[in-house]
Amino acid sequence: MNTWVIDGGQPLRGEIRVSGAKNSITKLLVASILSEQPSHFSNVPNIGDRDITQEMCAAVGATFSNTNGHSLRVSTPTISSNIISQELGGRNRLAIMLMGPLLHRTGKAVIPAAAGGDQIGPRPVDFHLQGIQRMGARVEIKDGNYIIQAADGLRGAEITLDYPSVTSTENLLMAASMARGRTIIQNAAIEPEVVDLVSYLQKMGAIIDYQVDRTFVVEGVETLNGASHRLLPDRIVAASLGAAAVATGGDVFVRNASQPDMLTFLNTLRRVGGKFEVQDDGIRFYADGPLKAIHLETSVHPGFMTDWQSPFLLLLTQAEGMSVVHETVFEDRFGYVAALQDMGAEIGLYDSCLGHRCRFASSSYKHSAVIKGPSKLRSAEVTVPDLRAGFTYLIAAIMAEGQSRVHGIDHITRGYENLEESLRSLGARIQPVQ
């Protein structure tokens, strides 16, 4: 059921377990196709984006067997097709990631140009395509598809990304792992999920050096083996729950939350006055005393993640004074603010950079927010615009006095496992309706 009725005014309390990262499993499944041999993954999240990516991999020949809900065996001895359908390509943003494996296995990849996923900015794939062209592939666009070909195989190249893009870095790392010679990727993303992919590729037999200045150096190898890999915990889910615990005035232990991947989030939470306690097997997040307004800018790792922005902004609606949030990763990631305004939050949006001058300085995108708190939130009827904003709406509805209706829950289950049961176990009063 895609609509939930939520009775708010209840702090979240209890314990919740976070499983593997969405933004890791999706790339690992694709990377497994580089090899003819099977791979095993554990700590796999049961989320919608995993299912979509499995379907995409199955469409090119991968088969899956589940040993239990959180582990998965994938095997692609032969490639049955190198074409991703428009329908599959439109369901998330992963289709373009198949270009490297398909080029290595068949010399060709046909990938829909229109991708799905969250509408949080234009989200072009020019870095991916320019990078693969430097590695010797030919790219043309025909009937709404990128036709990418490398009949003689890919060769190593020197590539400098204009911005440290996560999926471009991951895509080019996969392509470079089996290219002839050495590939240097400069200004690369170094997010923990990227390093998780590199760790898996290394287990498969890849040679990838990781230098201090955002540079990866990849020595191409001829074949890659299957491998076993345990996914890193989802630091976006963990932080969202942490922010939710504090914003609702509650106390939640997030089992498996990993401190090293969340240092910036934890520092920022401490500046605001939110409390946390790092334990051996997770992190306890709780509210104790008033919250203070802060200035915050999102950035690439190790900065404050853009995916932490919306739950944290919601938390800032409860802080005393004026907070500022400057979004510098995606130009259009405040689409959810209108609903929070309807619920009583005092938030102004601006197209100027309230912080350092970022790539969006001369655009008309409203990418800075000023939040005046604390605000008492009231219930509302809202429709989820994207995954992270959707989770924020749920928490806002849990915080608000009265009964809210949240439509479009399927956006959220793409990235949050067992959502209804988990939130209920923390005390949320949720009723799915037709």
110: region left, alpha or beta (phi > 0 left; psi from -120 to 50 alpha):
beta
Q: Pick the binder of ligand EPU from 128, 235, 284, 326 (CB under 6 A).
A: 128
Q: Which of 196, 234, 297, 307 binds ligand EPU (CB under 6 A)?
A: 307
215/225 with CB nearer ligand EPU: 215
Query: Residue 321 Cβ, how far from ligand EPU at the closest point, in Å?
Result: 28
User: What stretch of H or E contains 392?
Assistant: helix 387-399
- Longest Cα separation, the chain: 64
Which residue is catalytic, options 7, 49, 118, 143? 118
Amino acid occupying residue 25: I
Cis peptide before 302 (omega within 30 of 0): yes
Instruction: Work out whether 367 is an interface residue with ligand EPU (CB under 6 A).
Output: no
Least separation in angstroms between CB 408 and ligand EPU: 14
Q: Which stretch binds ligand EPU (CB under 6 A): 126-134, 175-183, 208-216, 221-229?
A: 126-134
Check residue 411 for interaction with ligand EPU (CB under 6 A).
no
Q: Is 165 in the site for ligand EPU (CB under 6 A)?
A: yes
Using alpha carbons only, give the angle 23, 73, 386 rounded to the nearest 5 degrees.
Answer: 25
DSSP state of 417: T
Distances, alpha carbon 275 to alpha carbons 190, 296, 320, in Å: 28, 18, 16
CB nearer to ligand EPU: pick between 161 and 252: 161
The b/e string for 338-350 (b: 16+ C-beta within 10 A; e otherwise) is: ebbeebbbebebe
* Residue 137 binds ligand EPU, judged by CB under 6 A: no
Structural element, H or E, at residue 74: strand 71-75
Nearer to ligand EPU, 134 or 292 (CB): 134
If the CB atoms of residues 284 and 411 are measured against ligand EPU, the closer one turns out to be 411
Q: According to the binding rule CB under 6 A, does residue 402 interact with ligand EPU?
A: no
Tokens in use for 61?
Answer: 């020949």
**Among 39-47, 60-68, 237-245, 305-313, which window interacts with ligand EPU (CB under 6 A)?**
305-313
- Ramachandran region, residue 388 (left: φ > 0; alpha: ψ -120 to 50; beta: rest): alpha
Q: What is the DSSP string of 20-31?
A: B-HHHHHHHHHH
Q: Does 214 bind ligand EPU (CB under 6 A)?
A: no
Q: Is 316 within 8 Å of 323 (Cβ atoms)?
A: yes
Alpha helices per DSSP H over 82-234: 86-89, 99-106, 126-134, 166-177, 192-204
Binder of ligand EPU out of 59, 88, 98, 125 (CB under 6 A): 125
163 binds ligand EPU (CB under 6 A): yes
Among 104, 235, 284, 388, binds ligand EPU (CB under 6 A): 388
Which positions from 76 to 95 touch ligand EPU by CB under 6 A, shown as an x/- string? -----------------x--
**Nearest to ligand EPU of 330, 336 (CB atom):** 330
Active site residue 196: no
Q: Residue 308 CB, nearest distance to ligand EPU (Å)?
A: 10
Token representation of residue 85: 């359908």
Chain-centre distance for alpha carbon 396: 21
Nearest 5 degrees, angle CA 267-CA 286-CA 265? 20
Q: How far is the CB of 129 from ligand EPU (least distance, A)?
A: 7
Nearer to ligand EPU, 389 or 396 (CB): 389
For 131: left if phi > 0, alpha if psi spans -120 to 50, otherwise beta; the answer is alpha
Identity of the residue, 104 or 235, whose beta carbon is nearer to ligand EPU in the bound complex: 235
Q: Which of 56, 266, 296, 387 binds ligand EPU (CB under 6 A)?
A: 387
Q: What separation in angstroms does the CA of 10 have from each of 6, 242, 311, 422? A: 10, 16, 17, 15
* Nearest residue (CB) to ligand EPU, 9 versus 121: 121
Alpha-carbon Rg for the chain, nearest whole angstrom, is: 22
Among 43, 53, 82, 168, contact with ligand EPU (rule: CB under 6 A):
168
Amino acid occupying residue 241 = L
User: Is 327 near ligand EPU (CB under 6 A)?
Assistant: no
Torsion over CA: 411, 412, 417, 418 (sign): negative
Q: Does 54 bind ligand EPU (CB under 6 A)?
A: no
Catalytic residue annotation: 118
The contact set with ligand EPU (CB under 6 A) reads 22-23, 26, 93, 118, 121, 123-128, 163, 165-168, 189, 191, 236, 305-307, 329-330, 387-388, 415
